[in-house]
Amino acid sequence: MGAMAHTSALVRALNGDRPEVAPVWFMRQAGRSLPEYRELRVGTRMLDACLTPDLAAEITLQPVRRHGVDAGIFFSDIVVPLRLAGVEVEIEPGRGPVFAAPIRTADDVARLTAIDPAEVAAAAEPIREAVRLTVAELGETPLIGFAGAPFTLAAYLVEGGPSKEHLRARAMMHADPDSWHRLAGWLAQVSRAFLGAQIDAGVQAVQLFDSWAGSLAPAAFRAFIAPHSTAAVTDLPVPVIHFGVGTGPFLADMRLGGVASAVGVDWRLPLDEAAAIVGPDVTLQGNIDPALVGAPWPVLEAHVRDVLRRGRAARAHIVNLGHGVPPETDPAVLTRIVELVHADGE
């Protein structure tokens, strides 16, 4: 059967056509919970690995082979397009993205945003090559591409590195809204260029990660974030999943006015309650509590069954954790979750 004739469970769920068995994949499935990943990464820095096509492709494929998940998530990072734009950034192990020069003043913003976002598309050949290699190996299993949302990227850029409450980025939007909108508008174009490269090369869906959006007041999300996140993903030729942590207070806004085919939900909000908030024309993704992945199997099994049951309230359900796989996770547990989800519909 040719790839075109087959519509994957993931894409069907995104289109609102509920498959008999819910598709399942895991955020951060490619990465530190896998010994074969740690082995491959020895001696290579994170961002160098992302820009080495055969390595990025192999790391993307590892969890698909091991767990039998219904999608691959492209191995890369939200800061890769910034590196491609010439911004000095590294990922420090155990910490996260760190920038040589934080973007804090109106002058900083003006200098950064003078870079043409088209530079990203031009420099993205290693990304296109990695996606092409991966898609060729995956066969009928779809590949999900991704990018960081403007706020989550700004939370790192303005601070200069990881922070708990993202105070500097949240202050900038109120104190200097012109600079904020300029920065967020530029980040939206940069992420859109990164998504475009992945789509050109064959990803079947994309996820916009606004991991830290939950630190925002709903009014700030609406005024300062949603228009830019919408610009990053509007009118793409593939379906969009929009994910954030702690977004319960403004979950309906996470639909981005209907541009998102699916909204990701963290572990705090039961999926039946989330479905009542977002309405019948959007798919939900989530929301196994990452803390329970380390619990005794009977406890985790009961929780996964509860997630599946509540997920039936949505127009369609893509099973995932409420956030990324914790690094210390026993990979065998993830495989067992996939088996449980796949057995549920039969």
CB atoms within 10 A of CB 24: 29
Place of tokens 């049951």: 309
32 makes contact with ligand CP3 (CB under 6 A): yes
Active-site residue 37, yes or no? no
- Among 3, 7, 12, 28, the residue binding ligand CP3 under the rule CB under 6 A is 28
Give the start-end residues of each E strand in the chain.
Answer: 72-73, 89-92, 96-99, 143-148, 205-209, 240-243, 262-264, 283-288, 317-321
Instruction: Examine residue 230 and tell whether it contacts ligand CP3 (CB under 6 A).
Output: no
Using CB under 6 A, pick the residue from 51, 69, 78, 121 that binds ligand CP3.
Answer: 78
Residue 97 lies near ligand CP3 (rule: CB under 6 A): yes
The residues that bridge with 283 in the sheet, in sequence order, are: 262
**In the complex, least distance from residue 129 CB atom to ligand CP3, rounded to whole angstroms:** 17
3-state secondary structure of 110: helix
Q: Is 38 a catalytic residue?
A: no
Nearest CA to 61 among 12, 130, 126?
130
Instruction: Select the span of 27-35, 98-106, 313-321, 329-337 touching ligand CP3 (CB under 6 A).
Output: 27-35
Asked about 116 being catalytic, the answer comes back as no
- As measured in angstroms, the least distance from the Cβ of 106 to ligand CP3 is 26
Instruction: Report the distance separating Cα 339 and Cα 273, nearest Å.
Output: 26
Binders of ligand CP3 in range 280-299 (CB under 6 A): none
Q: Is 41 part of the annotated catalytic residue set? A: yes
Pairing of strands 240-243, 205-209: parallel
Is 24 within 8 Å of 69 (Cβ atoms)? yes
Q: Assess 138 for contact with ligand CP3 (CB under 6 A).
A: no
Specify the stretch interacting with ligand CP3 by CB under 6 A; choose among 71-79, 112-120, 181-189, 332-340: 71-79
Residue from 18, 37, 70, 77 carrying the catalytic annotation: 77
* 77 catalytically annotated: yes
Min dist. Cβ of residue 294 to ligand CP3 (A): 17
Q: Which of 83, 156, 192, 266 is catalytic?
A: 156
Nearest approach in angstroms of CB 76 to ligand CP3 is 6
Spatial separation of the C-alpha atoms in residues 81 and 62, rounded to whole Å: 23
DSSP 180-197: HHHHHHHHHHHHHHHHHH
Q: Return d(Cα 243, Cα 24) in angstroms, integer.
A: 15
Could you tell me the smallest distance in angstroms from the CB atom of residue 317 to ligand CP3? 19
Please list, residue by residue across 67-100, b when 16 or more beta carbons sit within 10 angstroms of its beta carbon and e when fewer do: bebbbbbbbbbbbbbbbbbebebbbeeeebbbbe
- Could you say which of 18, 37, 41, 168 is catalytic? 41
Q: Which of residues 309-328 bind ligand CP3 (CB under 6 A)?
A: 324
CA 153, CA 184: separation in Å to the nearest integer?
9
* Residue 72 touches ligand CP3, criterion: CB under 6 A: no
87 versus 313: smaller Cβ distance to ligand CP3? 87
Minimum CB separation of residue 91 from ligand CP3 in Å reads 5
Looking at the DSSP bridge assignments, the partners of residue 208 are 147, 242
Q: What amino acid positions are annotated as catalytic residues?
A: 28, 32, 41, 77, 156
Chain residues that interact with ligand CP3, rule: CB under 6 A: 27-32, 41, 46, 73, 75-78, 91, 93-97, 146, 152, 209, 211, 324
